[in-house]
């Protein structure tokens, strides 16, 4: 009896241990402007800036874009280059800014806020020497670069992965208005391409080295058996040279969000940005605008070059043909998850699951990227 | 080298302590009050990063007001009651303020270092003690004590933490004695 009482008391105590915490932070008052982008000098360089607002912690929306702002790159000589909003909060322009100038970003938001970064010289970025990979079960991708003039020292890399993958069956048949039809080449859904951009901050610092050289910088590990390498995989790595201040900004952002969570991690630090509000100097703005050039390099990996890397994702194990002759048309009308696969000589039509014939169902597009080799 | 791994921090602390004590009599005990502040400052630009733009911020253990009260009342030789009560300001905490996207992933913005405080701590324990007989020749002296820990049942947070659940960042507080807990003990002295 006593033991039961003790257990009951223990349950009461433990049960009330964890409770939701009402944070004293007034989240609605914090609509801080967030600016991301690099002023890219050079011939016909892509200049893209993403503008958004801080979201409350309980907000599950993926983005809170700042729309309808005027975004201008200004040179110290007084020339203005305007960016156009191509998507909500996404401002871009292809510009040819001379490398010799000094530039800053100016933003006017819809609600009358004026923001600007400081004038900065163009920091040159050396080319990426090479991208290499080794397979140790998983495939690890490395970057190599160097600056013979020993001026770069601080690097940041971004990447975009693109991969070609194939459906299980290569079908040239379609089912349109109750009829089996042959598809023209642009309608085929056998080969698809998908893309994804990396979400981790990759930084390099050679300031403690006698030579400004980066070797075997890890960019990404492709886990085996990732379907990204089921046929042909490609990664485009962009390299940006940073000033020491910009490097600190990205390094603190990385430490605050990628290495916190255990007892011995450092406390989060304040982000030292370089954008100020002209209208209200006390207003906080998140972001660091660098002025530089972006260099890039692409690497391809074919499935045949990899060891023991499956060409088929596991879900393709359901793919088999169905013989419903002579009632194929009725079958397709009733079960819309199936489609016509191919004709066999003397045996009529064979059917299969659409998931096994339409590669778009795994998220890609049948439009081949223009650079694809 | 340790000089490169440790960032130089300047500290500043001050305060005052007061104690009222009544050691004898039927009613005895003490009341103490402490006002103390501790601030830290990291403003060496050569260290690579400063905290709160080089301005002072409260240390993790900066609790300005601490009050404690201990009181015993002895009704007779065998029966007494006692009360113990503590109040202190909540300790400082750095809170997440909001989320934003940068570098292709969602990120969290934090407040200035230790800009907020967890709720204040307050706890009162009461007890009464019944002594056995005081026969000098007896080898073993016994007494019974009964009382209540945290009699007001205040939910004192022991720690506050945030975790990501279904894309939302939710805050939780952990308490050790979140309710009033009665107790009985039997004491032996020899």
Q: How many other CB atoms are there within 10 angstroms of residue B71's CB atom?
A: 16
In a structure prediction context, what are the per-residue pLDDT tens digits for chain B, which is 190 residues long?
566 667 788 899 999 999 999 998 899 999 999 999 999 998 876 766 678 878 899 998 899 999 999 999 999 888 999 999 999 998 898 888 888 888 888 888 888 888 899 889 999 999 999 988 777 777 788 899 999 999 998 888 877 888 877 777 788 888 877 788 899 999 888 7
Please state, in angstroms and rounded to a whole number, the distance separating the CA atoms of residues A94 and A43: 9
When CB atoms are compared, the residue of A17, A20, A201 closest to B178 is A17
Q: Tell me which residue of B169, B178, B58 sits closest to A56, measured CA to CA.
A: B169
Tell me the C-alpha to C-alpha distance, in Å, between residue B4 and each of A155, A158, A241, B8.
22, 29, 25, 10
Tell whether A63 lies on the interface with B, counting CB pairs under 8 A: yes
When CB atoms are compared, the residue of B49, B99, B109 closest to A248 is B49
Going by pLDDT thresholds of 50, 70 and 90, the confidence category of residue A310 is confident
Decide if pLDDT at A211 tops 80.
Answer: yes
Decide if pLDDT at A172 tops 80.
Answer: yes
pLDDT of residue A49: 93
Please state, in angstroms and rounded to a whole number, the distance separating the CA atoms of residues B84 and B152: 12
Q: Which residues of B touch A62 (CB under 8 A)?
A: 101, 106
Q: Which residues contact B160 (CB under 8 A, 6 or more apart)?
A: A21, B93, B118, B171, B172, B173, B174
Please state, in angstroms and rounded to a whole number, the distance separating the CA atoms of residues A32 and A287: 10
Choose the mutation target among B109, B148, B170 for the interface with A, i.e. most A CBs under 10 Å.
B109
Q: Which residues contact B59 (CB under 8 A, 6 or more apart)?
A: B11, B38, B39, B40, B92, B114
Please state, in angstroms and rounded to a whole number, the distance separating the CA atoms of residues A170 and A189: 8
Go through chain A and tell me how many residues it has: 373
CB contact at 8 A, A164 and A232: yes
pLDDT of residue A117: 93
pLDDT of residue B4: 65
pLDDT of residue A269: 77
Q: Which residues of B touch A256 (CB under 8 A)?
A: 107-108, 110
Q: Locate tokens 């050289």: which residue?
A: A213
Are residues A257 and B174, on separate chains, in Cβ contact within 8 Å? no
Please state, in angstroms and rounded to a whole number, the distance separating the CA atoms of residues A217 and A154: 13
CB contact at 8 A, A124 and A152: yes
Mean pLDDT of the A196-219 span: 90
Nearest CA distance, A305 vs chain B (angstrom): 30
Q: Tell me which residue of A39, A38, A47, A40 sits closest to A86, measured CA to CA.
A: A47
CB contact at 8 A, A273 and B102: no
Please state, in angstroms and rounded to a whole number, the distance separating the CA atoms of residues A360 and A148: 46
Higher pLDDT, B170 or A263: B170
Higher pLDDT, A269 or A33: A33
Tell me which chain B residue has its CA closest to the CA of residue A16. B178
Q: Locate tokens 């490097």: which residue?
A: A247
Angle at A193 between CA A188 and CA A197, to 5 degrees: 160
Q: Tell whether ipTM is more than 0.90.
A: no
Going by pLDDT thresholds of 50, 70 and 90, the confidence category of residue A1 is low
Decide if pLDDT at A326 tops 70.
Answer: yes
Tell whether B103 lies on the interface with A, counting CB pairs under 8 A: yes
Tell whether A255 lies on the interface with B, counting CB pairs under 8 A: no
Tell whether B7 lies on the interface with A, counting CB pairs under 8 A: no
Please report, rounded to a whole number, the percentage of residues in chain A having pLDDT higher than 90. Answer: 42
- Across A243-254, b (16+ Cβ under 10 Å) vs e yields beebbbbbbbbb
Average pLDDT, chain A: 87
pLDDT of residue B47: 64
Q: Which residues contact A98 (CB under 8 A, 6 or more apart)?
A: A41
Q: Tell me which residue of B149, B151, B150, B147 sits closest to B187, measured CA to CA.
A: B147
Are residues B116 and A252, on separate chains, in Cβ contact within 8 Å? no
Dihedral angle of Cα A18, A20, A22, A28, to the nearest 10 degrees: 150
Tell me which chain A residue has its CA closest to the CA of residue B171. A21
Beta-bridged to residue A34, according to DSSP, are A52, A286
| pTM (predicted TM-score) | 0.79
Are residues B95 and A286, on separate chains, in Cβ contact within 8 Å? no
Q: How many CB pairs under 8 A join A and B?
A: 138
Decide if pLDDT at A12 tops 60.
Answer: no
Q: Which residues of B touch A200 (CB under 8 A)?
A: 103-105
Choose the mutation target among A21, A157, A255 for the interface with B, i.e. most B CBs under 10 Å.
A21
CB contact at 8 A, B154 and B125: no
Give the model confidence (pLDDT) of A240-255 as tens digits.
Answer: 999 998 998 999 888 8
CB contact at 8 A, A349 and A321: no
Tell whether A158 lies on the interface with B, counting CB pairs under 8 A: yes
Decide if pLDDT at A195 tops 60.
Answer: yes
pLDDT of residue B81: 95
Going by pLDDT thresholds of 50, 70 and 90, the confidence category of residue A14 is low
Nearest CA distance, A183 vs chain B (angstrom): 38
Tell whether A2 lies on the interface with B, counting CB pairs under 8 A: no
Angle at A335 between CA A330 and CA A338, to 5 degrees: 100
Quote the tokens at residue A133. Answer: 């990979």
Please state, in angstroms and rounded to a whole number, the distance separating the CA atoms of residues A336 and B164: 39
Tell me the C-alpha to C-alpha distance, in Å, between residue A274 and each of A69, A247, A248.
19, 12, 11
Tell whether B168 lies on the interface with A, counting CB pairs under 8 A: yes
Higher pLDDT, A335 or A143: A143
Q: Which residues contact A208 (CB under 8 A, 6 or more apart)?
A: none
For β-strands A70-75 and A42-53, DSSP reports them as unpaired
Mean pLDDT of the A303-320 span: 85
CB contact at 8 A, B59 and B114: yes
Q: Which residues of A touch B107 (CB under 8 A)?
A: 253, 256-257
Portion 182-241 of A in contact with B at CB < 8 A: 197-201
Give the model confidence (pLDDT) of A88-139 as tens digits.
Answer: 999 999 999 888 889 999 999 998 899 999 999 999 899 999 999 999 889 9
Dihedral angle of Cα A331, A337, A342, A345, to the nearest 10 degrees: -30
Q: Tell me which residue of A4, A21, A84, A19 sits closest to A49, measured CA to CA.
A: A84
Q: How many other CB atoms are there within 10 angstroms of residue A157's CB atom?
A: 22
Mean pLDDT of the A11-36 span: 75
> What is the 3-class SS of chain A, one letter each residue?
CHHHHHHHHHHHHHHCCEEECCCCCCHHHCCCEEEEEEEECEEEEEEEEEEEECECCCCCCCCCECCCCEEEEEECCCCEEEEEEEECCEEEEEEEECCCCEEEEEEECCCCCEEEECCEECECCCCEEEEEEEEECEEEEEEEEECCCCCCCEEEEEEEEEEEEECCCCCCEEEECCEEEECCHHHCCCEEEEEEECCCCEEEECCCCCCCEEEEEEEEEECCCCHHHCCEEEEEEEEEEECHHHHHHHHHHHHHHHCCCCCCCCCCCCCCCCEEECCCCCCCEECCCEEECEEEEEEEEEHHHCCCCCCCCHHHHHCCCECCCCCHHHHHHHCCCEEEEEEECCCEEEEEEHHHCCHHHHCCECCCCCCCC
Q: Tell me which residue of B141, B133, B120, B123 sits closest to B186, measured CA to CA.
A: B141
pLDDT of residue B9: 86
pLDDT of residue B43: 81
pLDDT of residue B19: 96
Are residues B101 and A198, on separate chains, in Cβ contact within 8 Å? no
């Amino acid at each position: 009896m006593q033991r039961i009482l003790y257990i009951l008391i223990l349950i009461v105590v433990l049960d009330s241990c964890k409770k939701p915490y009402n944070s004293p932070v007034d989240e609605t008052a914090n609509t801080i402007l967030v600016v991301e982008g690099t002023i890219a000098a050079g011939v016909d360089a892509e200049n893209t800036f993403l503008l958004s607002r801080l979201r409350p912690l309980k907000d599950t929306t993926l983005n809170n874009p700042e729309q309808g702002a005027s975004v201008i790159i200004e040179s110290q000589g007084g020339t203005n280059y305007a960016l156009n909003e191509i998507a909500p909060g996404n401002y871009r322009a292809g510009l040819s800014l001379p490398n010799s100038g000094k530039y800053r970003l100016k933003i006017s938001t819809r609600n009358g806020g004026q923001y600007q970064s400081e004038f900065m010289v163009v920091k040159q970025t050396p080319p990426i020497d090479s991208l290499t990979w080794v397979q140790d079960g998983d495939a690890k991708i490395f970057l190599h670069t160097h600056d013979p003039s020993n001026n770069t020292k601080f690097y940041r890399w971004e990447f975009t992965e693109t991969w070609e993958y194939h459906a299980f069956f290569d079908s040239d048949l379609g089912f349109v208005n109750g009829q089996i039809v042959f598809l023209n080449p642009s309608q085929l859904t056998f080969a698809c391409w998908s893309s994804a951009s990396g979400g981790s901050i990759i930084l390099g610092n050679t300031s403690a080295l006698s030579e400004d050289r980066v070797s075997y910088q890890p960019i990404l590990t492709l886990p085996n058996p990732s379907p990204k390498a089921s046929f042909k995989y490609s990664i485009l790595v962009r390299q940006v040279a940073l000033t020491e201040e910009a490097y600190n900004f990205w390094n603190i952002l990385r430490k605050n969000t990628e290495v916190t969570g255990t007892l011995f991690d450092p406390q989060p630090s304040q982000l030292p940005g370089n954008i100020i509000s002209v209208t209200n100097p006390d207003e906080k703005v998140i972001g660091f605008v660098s002025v530089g050039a972006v260099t890039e390099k692409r690497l391809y990996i074919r499935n045949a070059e990899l060891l023991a890397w499956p060409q088929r994702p596991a879900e393709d194990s359901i793919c088999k043909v169905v013989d419903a002759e002579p009632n194929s048309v009725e079958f397709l009308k009733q079960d819309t998850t199936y489609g016509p696969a191919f004709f066999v000589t003397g045996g009529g039509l064979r059917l299969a699951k659409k998931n096994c014939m339409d590669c778009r169902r795994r998220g890609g597009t049948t439009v081949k990227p223009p650079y694809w080799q | 080298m340790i000089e490169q791994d440790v960032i130089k921090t300047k500290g500043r602390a001050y305060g005052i302590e007061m104690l009222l004590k009544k050691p004898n009599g039927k009613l005895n005990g003490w009341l103490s009050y402490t006002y103390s502040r501790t601030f830290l400052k990291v403003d060496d630009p050569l260290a690579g990063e400063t905290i709160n733009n080089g301005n002072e911020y409260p240390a993790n253990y900066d609790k300005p007001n601490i009050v404690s009260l201990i009181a015993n009342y002895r009704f007779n030789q065998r029966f007494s009651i006692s009360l113990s009560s503590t109040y202190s300001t909540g300790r400082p905490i750095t809170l997440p303020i909001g989320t934003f996207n940068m570098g292709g992933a969602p990120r969290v913005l934090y407040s200035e270092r230790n800009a907020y405080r967890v709720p204040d701590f307050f706890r009162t324990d009461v007890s009464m003690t019944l002594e056995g007989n005081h026969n000098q020749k007896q080898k073993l002296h016994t007494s019974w004590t009964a009382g209540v820990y945290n009699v007001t049942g205040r939910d004192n947070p022991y720690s506050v933490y945030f975790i990501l659940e279904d894309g939302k960042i939710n805050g939780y507080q952990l308490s050790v004695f979140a309710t009033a807990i009665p107790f009985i003990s039997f004491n032996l002295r020899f």
